[in-house]
Structure 1
Amino acid sequence: MKPPVICIVGKSKRMKLMIMQELISKLKARGLRVGALKYHKHGDFEIDIEGKDTWKYANAGADTVAIISSVKFAVIKKANSKPEIDDIIEKHFTDCNIVLADGFTLSDKPRIIVIDSEEDIELFKRGCELVAVIDKNVGREDISGLVNKVVRFCCL
């Protein structure tokens, strides 16, 4: 079963990161399994370490590379086109109770908007359901109210 997805969108990278971290931590403290998804709008990215075996496999042309240990695994897959958020969730996040997605401003998913000004609400809403609107100056101490909104919104 696909978990609910909430996108954290806005201009302030620092605040989106802080909100993601705090939400993950506080939702985990409630016993929930939380997935985190990041949209990288700058094209190619590297999460592997240059010179390591998996990096060498990818540089040799492998379309999919995986690394597995006794406690975790990672798969790096070349994409012929931009993967859709629903496909990624369906394939990799079904064991989660909720997925928080940093970015994905073009998706149709519900969102938390981090605003610099009131104009940002319409800029980032794009017809999607709003979970919350957060001022970029919110402090970590104000996040518990947001956690409660997220839990209620997702019926967790």
Structure 2
Amino acid sequence: MRRLAVAFSGPSNSGKTTLILKVAENFIKSGLKVAIIKHDPADKAQFDVEGKDSYKFSQTGADVVVLSPTRTTYFSQRKSELEDVIKILPDFDVLLVEGLKNLPLPRISVFKDSIDESYLPFSDAIATYEKVTPFGLENIDLGDTDRVCEWILNNAKVV
């Protein structure tokens, strides 16, 4: 069990969910156990609803936790910090966190159309379709899931 953690950030509709799904499926096919935490800052997540992110994440076979300001959805109705959630999920190799930009985790910011520079101060790499390497950050091709997984294995934080 590796217990590695990495986070993903980016604007709405930037491709974060799609990338996390692909990364989770890639790791699971490789025999790794994956857990996913999704941040719900507006406290509006719907559960077990086809088409919603939490439903899509659960379809990968990963354990899923959704954090919001008022609850943690994983058999709990209290707000939790990352350390609390890790205690709930003791058996994982890779933890993928969507959002929660204040967490001290290595972070890939995802940009589908244009780069939003407000995400760069807390980014360690970016994933985009653009071929430039702006801002001194590693730019991973958003379509290259294997390369994203490689970056995670090389840069994720042991938790």
Q: What is the TM-score when the length of structure 2 is the normalising length?
A: 0.64
Aligned-pair identity (%): 21
Q: Which structure's relative contact order is higher, taking Cα pairs within 8 Å and 6+ residues apart?
A: 1
1:83 to 67, 80, 85: 80
2:109 to 110, 113, 124: 113
Equivalent position of 2:119 in the other structure: 124
Structure 1: any 5+ residue segments left out of the alignment? 50-71
Displacement of 1:155: 8.8
Seen in structure 2, the aligned counterparts of structure 1 residues 19 and 44 have a Cα distance that, compared at 3 Å, is closer
1:133 to 112, 122, 126: 126
The aligned amino acid for 2:97 is A
Equivalent position of 1:93 in the other structure: 89
More helix by share: 1
The aligned amino acid for 2:28 is K
Seen in structure 2, the aligned counterparts of structure 1 residues 111 and 155 have a Cα distance that, compared at 3 Å, is closer
2:154 to 142, 152, 155: 152
* Equivalent pair of 2:108/2:127 in contact (CA under 8 Å): yes
The aligned amino acid for 2:155 is F
SS at match of 1:105: coil
Alpha-carbon displacement from aligned partner over 1:56-95 (angstroms, at most 9, x marks no partner): xxxxxxxxxxxxxxxx9x843222xx32112111x22220
* Equivalent pair of 2:106/2:155 in contact (CA under 8 Å): no
Seen in structure 2, the aligned counterparts of structure 1 residues 83 and 126 have a Cα distance that, compared at 3 Å, is farther
- The structure having more radius of gyration, on CA atoms, is 1
Structure 2: any 5+ residue segments left out of the alignment? 50-62, 64-72, 131-140
1:104 to 80, 87, 100: 100
Matches of 1:83 and 1:136, distance apart in 2: 34
Seen in structure 2, the aligned counterparts of structure 1 residues 12 and 83 have a Cα distance that, compared at 3 Å, is same
Q: What is the TM-score when the length of structure 1 is the normalising length?
A: 0.65
* Equivalent pair of 2:106/2:157 in contact (CA under 8 Å): no
Displacement of 1:111: 0.6
Matches of 1:88 and 1:155, distance apart in 2: 15
Cα RMSD, aligned residues only: 3.1
